[in-house]
Chain A
Amino acid sequence: MGATVISNEHALDGGPGPLGATYGKMMMWFFILSDALTFSGFLAAYGFSRFKFIETWPIADEVFNHFPFAHGVDAPMYYVALMTFILIFSSVTMVLAVDAGHQLKKTKVAVYMALTIVGGLIFLGSQAWEWKNFIKGEFGAVETKGGSILQFVKKGANGEYERVALGDFALTLPEEREQLNRNNGFWFMSEASIPSHSVNEVVQGFKADESILVRTETINAEKEKTVLTREESIKRLADTKYVVEGANLVRNEYGSKLFANFFFFITGFHGFHVFTGVLINIIIFFNILLGTYEKRKSYEMVEKVGLYWHFVDLVWVFVFTFFYLV
């Protein structure tokens, strides 16, 4: 038989395992490894779709340009940069908690843990606000029969094209269309809320206002969206099928349908990780207060949830790059 003697004494209690790590910590690392591969699968799928529609993909700076209390101000990226800072900072308080745990300082661990939880909650709130803006939309657009999104622009004071909201030029025509709800048809029939303007109102309004032009999804050599001439615009608008306001899983006013789907899916899945991270942090926080780890003379549990929390931060760093920067 082999000469190596393996002791099973700590096989189930998370005690010393192979390679100088405890079993608990090692399994947390391998869980993170598999979760990292899941996320890279999502991001690679996003990359696939983006390469597939490279000439028509929405420009992130134009979509995510909101900042709290700054309505109508074009502020690309500042808000997500702020969210990144919040998450990095909560990572710092987490690692400070782990550090204090190594020195068995219970109060210090508890305080840093509480700060980490607060940071996580602020991040979740920020993400909710981001989703709200994305779902609500700002300018509105129309979709053609061929599935292409047409947006509206107007030459601004500085000679650059500015986006125009549908409400600014759409006419109000004497036409009525009621939303189909379960209480006025069959119980199983209903539809999504009707856009604030009908296709006809938008097209007639466009024809009435000479200054407005159509902007297509196609990205030109200057890496900007192509603006059509007045004649081309009217020709393209003849194909209009839907008025699109905001975003859902079927269509969105920003352009490619996959863009919104990936946004909801990837940031949603990451947000879910943050949410579970906060929950686990809260459980550990109460365990610290109860003195569980004090009795164990080891704060390794804090270290293990810390690994998970840093991983969530790590994923956000990549989501930030591939969704907002690249």
Chain B
Amino acid sequence: MAHAHESHTGRIWKVFVILSIITIVEVLFGIFKPKSLYFNNFAGMNLLNWLFIILTIVKAYYITWAFMHMEGEKKWFRRSIVWTVVFLILYLCFIVLIEGAYVFDVYKTGHIKWNF
């Protein structure tokens, strides 16, 4: 890749501001816990947690694309990293979390008293 040797400091500081704002928003939501989000569930998890996870992924996007300069890499190099990790993590979470919820049900409805 032909590296242009101009400076990117403007973009770097902009990304820093975005990351800071997202973190502040996360902390504010974590402290005030709005009831409409905290007590409403979607797919087994409350909306507040969904919001945190989405904001985290946005942060991860900015760190990877701007700071780790993924945006400057060749398309298939980028994909070989990002697609691999995203697919495997989604699969892992899917299988492991469903199993965890199942084990919870077994403990709750089964005949073994485990924490008393």
Give A contacts to B, CB under 8 Å. Answer: 19-21, 26, 29-30, 32-33, 36-37, 40-41, 44-45, 47-56, 61, 76-78, 81, 84-85, 88-89, 91-92, 94-96, 98-99, 102-103, 144-148, 217, 223, 239, 303, 306-307, 310-311, 313-314, 317-318, 320-321, 324-326
Interface residues in B51-92 (C-beta closer than 8 Å to A)? 52-53, 55-56, 59-60, 63-64, 66-69, 73-74, 76-77, 80-81, 84-85, 88-89, 92
* A20 near B16: Cβ-Cβ < 8 Å: no
- In the complex, residue of chain B having the shortest beta-carbon distance to the beta carbon of A313: B63
Tell me the bound Cα distance from A148 to B100 in angstroms: 20
Residues of chain B within 8 A of A326, CB atoms compared: 49, 52-53
What 10 pairs between A and B have smallest CB-CB spacing? A51-B100, A146-B116, A19-B77, A48-B100, A321-B56, A20-B74, A81-B27, A325-B52, A40-B89, A20-B1
Q: Is the interface of B mostly helix, strand, loop or mixed?
A: helix
13 pairs across A/B with beta carbons < 8 Å?
A32-B81, A37-B89, A40-B88, A51-B101, A54-B104, A81-B26, A88-B16, A89-B16, A99-B7, A147-B116, A306-B68, A310-B68, A324-B30
Known contacts A52-B104, A92-B16; decide if A21 and B74 are in contact (CB<8 Å): yes
Binding site for A on B (CB under 8 A): 1, 3, 5, 7-9, 12-13, 16, 19-20, 23-24, 26-27, 30-31, 38-39, 49, 52-53, 55-56, 59-60, 63-64, 66-69, 73-74, 76-77, 80-81, 84-85, 88-89, 92-93, 96-97, 99-101, 103-104, 107-108, 113-116
A41-B92, A321-B52 are contacts. A30–B30 as well, Cβ < 8 Å?
Answer: no
**B23: which A residues are within 8 A, CB to CB?**
81, 84-85, 88
The answer to whether A307 and B68 touch (CB under 8 A), given A56-B115, A318-B56, is yes
Q: Is the beta-carbon distance between A314 and B64 smaller than 8 angstroms? A: yes
A311 close to B68 (CB less than 8 A)? yes
B55: nearest residue on chain A (CB-CB)?
Answer: A321
A55 to B1, CA, bound (A): 52
Whether the Cβ atoms of B115 and A51 lie closer than 8 Å is no
* Smallest CB separation, B24 vs chain A (Å): 8
Tell me which residues across on chain B come within 8 A of A321, comparing CB atoms.
Answer: 26, 52-53, 55-56
- B85: contacting residue among A37, A77, A313, A324, CB under 8 A: A37
CA distance A306 to B80 in the complex (A): 20
User: Chain A interface mostly helix, strand, loop or mixed?
Assistant: helix
The docked-state distance in angstroms from the alpha carbon of A148 to that of B16 is: 44
Interchain CA distance A313-B23 in the complex, whole Å:
13
Bound-state Cα–Cα, A317 to B68, Å: 15
Contacts A30-B81, A37-B88, A76-B30 given: A48-B67 contact, CB under 8 Å?
A: no
In the complex, the answer to whether A77 meets B31 with C-beta atoms within 8 Å is yes
A36 and B73 contact, CB distance less than 8 A = no
CB neighbours (8 Å) of B99 from chain A are 48
**Minimum Cβ distance to chain A for residue B23 (Å):** 5
Q: Given known contacts A33-B85, A317-B59, what 11 new A-B pairs fall within 8 Å (CB)? A: A32-B81, A40-B85, A44-B89, A53-B115, A55-B104, A99-B12, A223-B38, A310-B67, A321-B52, A321-B56, A326-B53
Chain A, residue nearest B49 (CB):
A326
**Contact partners of A41 in chain B: CB under 8 A:** 92
Rounded to whole Å, the gap between the CB of A19 and the closest CB of chain B is 4
For B108, what are the chain A residues with a Cβ–Cβ distance below 8 Å?
Answer: 55
Q: Which residues from chain B contact A239 at a C-beta distance below 8 Å? A: 116
Residues on A with C-beta less than 8 A from B52 are 321, 325-326
CB distance from B50 to the nearest CB of A (A): 10
Closest B residue to A146 by CB, please name it.
Answer: B116
A20:B77 contact, CB within 8 angstroms: yes
CB distance from A237 to the nearest CB of B (A): 13
Chain B residues near A21 (CB, 8 Å)? 1, 73-74, 77
